[in-house]
A and B are shown apart, each in its own frame.
Chain A
């Protein structure tokens, strides 16, 4: 192989250059590896990524107005709402033509529900007009529409139709930050309708509180578990995992029994004479209740990563520190604690992200001051059917978590997180 140093490529037995042959083999390996994970990848793509993307897309999608009343939208484009005058006869004629088609496929009431999110009364306006549309005579549509419902003479409805005629809208996002576009610029809603920013703030505050209390309660337990005999620690571990085998609803309801004013804890305190019968503590249907119940539910998610990281910390470091004269506290704080930080990081992230999206526990024990933004998202998904707004709120929540994740990465470093 002395001539290997020359420029001639190394060949394999069948005359193909070694480099090409190697690449080919590697590519085959890679393809095989990819094929192995392909089912999982496709599964995640179809059941997870696509539905979420589709849901998030709804936060800006607004095709229904332009699809249902296209001619009206076109005719409204050269109408200026700031003049304070109603649109002219051609617009009403276009509306009549559009609605005649829409009534046949029953899409006019859908449009009414959609516009009702922006202006109260649109729902009945379209339902009522839909019933009249067939009976209308040709010509003089403006008068006939005004007779069908006097709201057609209210410029506010026309302004909303014109404003939401576009295929994509920022309206849901504005709504999600308590703002609206009233026609003369974006501004905040009146104070008695502002709710979402406040709820985002409270979601953050409560999630941080829950994470901190999980850490305070979980750290000593994890420490204990990691530093006793395996036989005992296994037994205790079962106790930590036990709540997982009970339904979330049962655990939440159990807290109701314990914490309510006629509940077990208050009864006990009254019996011992610590509080009077009239001065029973209010511990549920408020933030306290939410924090207590959710801390209990999320505690295992803090303990498990902490435990598995602490298991790997060699006791010889602490012994070495002590042999050099450190007292117990110094040895723990300077030697043991820094080594357990990856576990704290993992546990804190897990608990925080889980609690930020929690919904059923706050609904049951949160009263009015302990509910999260996710409770409003659930309301808009299942009750008001305003999926656009729910999607916008969801996007904001997602964005918020991403930003926090980024900040966390900058401060703690995402590499400094270990699950074991």
Chain B
């Protein structure tokens, strides 16, 4: 009971029982200890000498980055185009692959529970591995270049699009499905006329949202050799040309802002 009585016999209000209070205290204490332990591990692995002059390093870095060497921007149009292609083609390819996977993973459209768990496994493994790791793998397989980037983005997108889409499929209204099946429609026809029209808007929105994320992710894929503006970034950093790095940062910032705006506008127009 969260009510206790004072010594004078008057009831006092208390939010929690004593046991609950102790439990909360123990949980917070445990959390704090865990945090401090983790902090100790990090602190042991850190060279504090380097951290001490971080301010100097930071201001030094800033001085080298400013002013940006704007002439360099002319050389960046081609890498930028490659980056956009990686994001767009990768999203398209990923969405194409995610589409069937999502229908196999949704509880109401899957042909068999075993197929469902397989589809869920594809989604989870695609989601838990970062696109940079996919890119590293693919660079060793198909060689450095834009193709590796496209496939990496596609493989990463399967999980994201697949997960959101299968949740949308599971939330559809059952009445149209029943109505269409009552006309004697086959499984595929039910899919086409009852399920698909209900999830198509969600599907388009999810794809655009992922495209927007993919633009952001494709800017760094070049760091591991998978093409795009990341290659230029990597080259500039390796040659310590920080004034070029700042130009690249400005380009990335502008592209991401514009793509976010475009994706938000188109999504609003559709819904």
Query: Do A and B interact?
Result: no
